[in-house]
Amino acid sequence: MKIADAKVIVCSPGRNFVTLKLTTEDGITGLGDATLNGRELAVASYLQEHLVPLLIGRDARRIEETWHYLYKGAYWRRGPVTMTAIAAVDTALWDIQGKGLGVPVYQLLGGRARDSVMVYGHANGQDVAATVEAVARTVAAGYRAVRAQCGVPGLPDTYGVGHGKPGAIYEPAVKGMPSESVWSTEKYLEVVPKLFAKLRAELGPDLHLLHDVHHRLTPIEAARLGKELEPHHLFWLEDPVPAELQEGFRLIRQHTVTPLATGEVFSSIYDCQQLITEQLIDYIRTTVVHAGGLTHLRRIAHLAELHHVRTGAHGATDLSPVCLAAALHFDLSVHNFGIQEYMPHSAETDRVFPHGYRFSDGALHPGEAPGLGVEIDEALAATFPYDRAYLPTNRKLDGTVHSW
Ligand code: EZ4
Ligand code: CO
């Protein structure tokens, strides 16, 4: 079953997505998400210029062999652009394999380890009261797990507290340039424990509560926050510090039993090897599109399983429905699944990517269609051309660039 055609589709139904579509000589198509938010065209070009010529004529059924051919064959290893491009090919090949055999991808991954996949939703508010209301609304919509992000008194804008509609991008002051936000660790550390105290008091002990620090603290600051949040029993505290320094987590661990999650920006198993093998984290957030596809993500999950680390794949709206579908097949099948992030896409995005996954009772199911269960409407996609956009940048009150 040879690959006869490989097409890179760039579209912007509300935000930019890059999609790889492979077609075999007998007409089976497979999709892979290749979206790297803010650097989309680097991956599109990597695919178009360097991988497409290698794919034509290859046997689409040799998924494992193709992964190593692209990874080892590049000589240059790892990195988000390379690993996102490889992920797109890998995901599309699993889709083709499933369609060729007439089964959903999770059946190829060992079958279902559970009936459905628990997801967490997002709830944001400008202050504590508004955030508590937003969490209550999310619970009313059926979620059993909610990530809560709250505006910081004294700061104009805070990570996660968007102004827009579902799936909207951060609006920059100058179109096509990054937006800027302002940060104060001191002010942030004052409000977060108050938010979670209020959430537990109002919403009771059963709800899973999550929070994303977005790489903004130092280890000792994160240790303080984790300790202060202990009475409120978070499901996890995400990205407490930038994780390039993996041993930085050791310091946080020495001080708090609040569970830790990290890894949405990681692109390979080597980015989390120490975090996993030294049991410095509780959840690994690597996902299909940015960590080398289902083939590589399964390797990470299996290493994690040996060390009591569970999965919690990234699933924000800058990962396309193709990635979400692939993540759900992974989540359904992997034994040490923890939770899946879920933010509904915009209506335009859902129309461009018709899909079979469905939400009910706080959980998603990928559906029973052969392959991934997601398609792309290319004619509609062509009506939404690429629109340059960046993730925001962040500065401390004195103007110093900080992690966003
Ligand atoms: O900021 O997807 O946990 N979710 C997140 C996301 C990320 C964006 C970056 O591309 O941190 O909202
Ligand atoms: Co995050």
50-102 pLDDT per residue, tens: 999 999 999 999 999 999 999 999 999 999 999 999 999 999 999 999 999 99
The whole-angstrom separation of Cα 397 and Cα 215 is 17
CA nearest to 240, candidates 224, 258, 257, 218: 218
Q: Tokens at residue 324, please?
A: 């979400």
Ligand 1 contact, 212 CB (< 6 A)? yes
Q: Which residue's CA is the closest to the ligand 1 atom numbered 6? A: 316
| pLDDT greater than 60 at residue 166 | no
| pLDDT greater than 70 at residue 168 | no
What is the per-residue pLDDT for 167? Answer: 52
CA nearest to 154, candidates 194, 186, 125: 186
The whole-angstrom separation of Cα 361 and Cα 213 is 27
- CATH no. of 3-104: 3.30.390.10
What is the per-residue pLDDT for 192? Answer: 98
Q: Which residue's CA is the closest to the ligand 1 atom numbered 11? A: 214
CA nearest to 40, candidates 13, 70, 16: 16
pLDDT class of 404 with cuts at 50, 70, 90: very high
* pTM beyond 0.95: yes
Q: Tokens at residue 40, please?
A: 């989309």
Ligand 1 contact, 37 CB (< 6 A)? yes
- On whether the CB atoms of residues 195 and 149 are closer than 8 A, the answer is no
pLDDT tens digits along 311-360: 999 999 999 999 999 999 999 999 999 999 999 999 999 999 999 999 99
- CATH no. of 108-368: 3.20.20.120
For the CA of 392, the nearest ligand:
1
Nearest atom (ligand 1) to Cα of 238: 3
- Going from the Cα of 238 to the center of ligand 2, the distance in angstroms, rounded, reads 6
Rg (alpha carbons) of the chain, rounded to whole number: 21
Ligand 1 contact, 265 CB (< 6 A)? no
- Going from the Cα of 316 to the center of ligand 1, the distance in angstroms, rounded, reads 6
Q: Which residues surround ligand 2, an ion (CB under 5 A)?
A: 212, 264
- Going from the Cα of 78 to the center of ligand 2, the distance in angstroms, rounded, reads 21
Residue predicted with more confidence, 288 or 173 = 288
- Going from the Cα of 203 to the center of ligand 2, the distance in angstroms, rounded, reads 23
pLDDT class of 177 with cuts at 50, 70, 90: very high
The whole-angstrom separation of Cα 120 and Cα 363 is 8
- On whether the CB atoms of residues 6 and 52 are closer than 8 A, the answer is yes
Ligand 1 contact, 197 CB (< 6 A)? no
pLDDT class of 152 with cuts at 50, 70, 90: very high
pLDDT class of 22 with cuts at 50, 70, 90: very high
Q: Which residue's CA is the closest to the ligand 1 atom numbered 5? A: 316
pLDDT tens digits along 209-232: 999 999 999 999 999 999 999 999
Ligand 1 contact, 40 CB (< 6 A)? no
Residue with tokens 């993996």: 246
- Going from the Cα of 211 to the center of ligand 2, the distance in angstroms, rounded, reads 9
| pLDDT greater than 70 at residue 164 | no
CATH 3.20.20.120 in the chain is located at: 108-368
Phi and psi angles of residue 186, each rounded to the nearest 5 degrees, phi first: -60, -45
Helix axis angle, 63-73 to 293-306, nearest 10°:
90
What is the per-residue pLDDT for 169? Answer: 59
What is the per-residue pLDDT for 377? Answer: 98
CATH 3.30.390.10 in the chain is located at: 3-104
Ligand 1 contact, 316 CB (< 6 A)? yes
Phi and psi angles of residue 333, each rounded to the nearest 5 degrees, phi first: -100, -25
What sections of 102-184 are H helices per DSSP? Answer: 105-108, 128-140
pLDDT tens digits along 187-211: 999 999 999 999 999 999 999 999 9
